[in-house]
Amino acid sequence: MHTYLDFEKPIAELEGKIKELRHVSASGEEINIAEEVSRLQNKAEKLLQNTYSKLTPWQKTQVARHPERPHTSDYIENLIEDFTPLAGDRLYAEDCAIIGGLGRFEGHSVVVMGHEKGNSTETRVKHNFGMAKPEGYRKAQRLMDMAERFNLPIVTFVDTAGAFPGADAEERGQSEAIARSIEKCLQVKVPFTSIVIGEGGSGGAIAIACANDIYMLEHSIYSVISPEGCASILWRSNDYTESAADALNITAQDLHRLAVIDDVIPEPLGGAHRSLDDTFDAVRKVIDTSIREQLTHDGGVLKARRREKFLAMGRAGVA
């Protein structure tokens, strides 16, 4: 059963009526159900278009966190052939919040990794809701080293509320692990493409997203802090969460305008979860184009361009 967000209640009511009509069986009198269903479907689609054409930053945040939104494991399953998962940081432990390994994408051998939130109570606990600890970021560094050693393009999927803030993570060097991961992203001399597929939260996100080409799905978000976190710090109250979301410039459209990302990947009407195949196809095309273009350049050029890309952020005036 489809999960509806708070602002989708009118859409839920219409689509609920459509489902009811489809299950109505003829009983004595003739009812033209098909015509009524068609009328309601058109009305529901128009309402969906109208709603999603003017989402607020906070509503986009809700869509980015939708429980049915595809996760990294879904993209790997649908886009990567012969995927071989690799585990552990070779220092401390395996961190399931970041999954990664080797596979083939459109004929190219690649190293792929990303945050995994899980889609059930059991898997969410296993993957720690996509919030990685130091060992997760050290595993990411190990995979990036492997990519450079064998001259393989890197593809990352970003979807995390942020790095895990627990005491155990801090004790094992969370800040250092994130910093080293960012450093590694900027050092590798191979094609590097990153997609924000849901939440891009703080250093936990950028640790695997300092890429040559950075894209965001239309209703994903990317920010130094969550709206809730910002509200709790500035106003000391969650009552200002929506105001924080408005002020943070967290949407894909804002970040494209600010030149933080390279482009926005359109989502199916109603969000990525409403048509998974269309979502996977759109992401596939963007990654394919990105890798092919980057493969025309020498590794040193890719590294230099990546460095200049991040150094230039915030320098130029924004219209």
Three-state SS sequence of the chain = CCCCCHHHHHHHHHHHHHHHHHCCCCECECCCHHHHHHHHHHHHHHHHHHHHCCCCHHHHHHHHCCCCCCCHHHHHHHHCEEEEECCCCCCCCCCCCEEEEEEEECCEEEEEEEECCCCCHHHHHHCHHHCCCHHHHHHHHHHHHHHHHCCCCEEEEEEECCCCCCHHHHHCCHHHHHHHHHHHHHHCCCCEEEEEEEEEEHHHHHCCCCCCEEEEECCCEEECCCHHHHHHHHCCCHHHHHHHHHHCCCEHHHHHHCCCCCEEECCCCCCHHHCHHHHHHHHHHHHHHHHHHHCCCCHHHHHHHHHHHHHHCCCCCCC
pLDDT at position 315 is 74
Q: Where is pLDDT greater, at 40 or 288?
A: 288
Q: Where is pLDDT greater, at 167 or 12?
A: 167
Q: What is the dihedral of CA 80, 193, 250, 134, to 10 degrees?
A: 80
Calpha distance 55→52 (Å, rounded): 5
Calpha distance 283→306 (Å, rounded): 21
**Pairing, β 81-85 against β 98-105:** antiparallel
Query: What's the whole-number mean pLDDT along residues 203-209?
Result: 95
pLDDT at position 318 is 47
Q: What percent of the chain shows pLDDT beyond 90?
A: 81
Calpha distance 66→69 (Å, rounded): 5
pLDDT at position 31 is 59
Query: What's the whole-number mean pLDDT along residues 88-100?
Result: 95
From 80, 174, 83, 84, select the one nearest 128 (Cα to Cα).
Answer: 174
Q: Are 97 and 160 in contact (CB under 8 A)?
A: yes
- At 15, is the pLDDT very low, low, confident or very high (cuts 50, 70, 90)? confident
Query: What's the whole-number mean pLDDT along residues 220-230?
Result: 94
Q: Where is pLDDT greater, at 36 or 207?
A: 207
Query: What's the whole-number mean pLDDT along residues 228-237?
Result: 93
pLDDT at position 26 is 46
- What phi, psi does 175 have (nearest 5°)? -65, -45
| pLDDT at 176 > cutoff 80 | yes
pLDDT at position 164 is 94
Q: Can you name the residues that pair with 102 across neighbouring β-strands?
A: 84, 111
Query: What's the whole-number mean pLDDT along residues 261-274?
Result: 95
Q: What percent of the chain shows pLDDT beyond 70?
A: 95
Calpha distance 245→58 (Å, rounded): 5
Calpha distance 48→42 (Å, rounded): 10
pLDDT at position 319 is 43
Residue that is written with structure tokens 């195949």 in the block: 277
Query: What's the whole-number mean pLDDT along residues 237-254?
Result: 94
Residue that is written with structure tokens 């040193």 in the block: 300
pLDDT at position 316 is 59
| pLDDT at 317 > cutoff 60 | no
pLDDT at position 29 is 47
Q: What is the pLDDT of residues 247-258, one digit of tens each?
A: 999 999 999 999
pLDDT at position 32 is 65
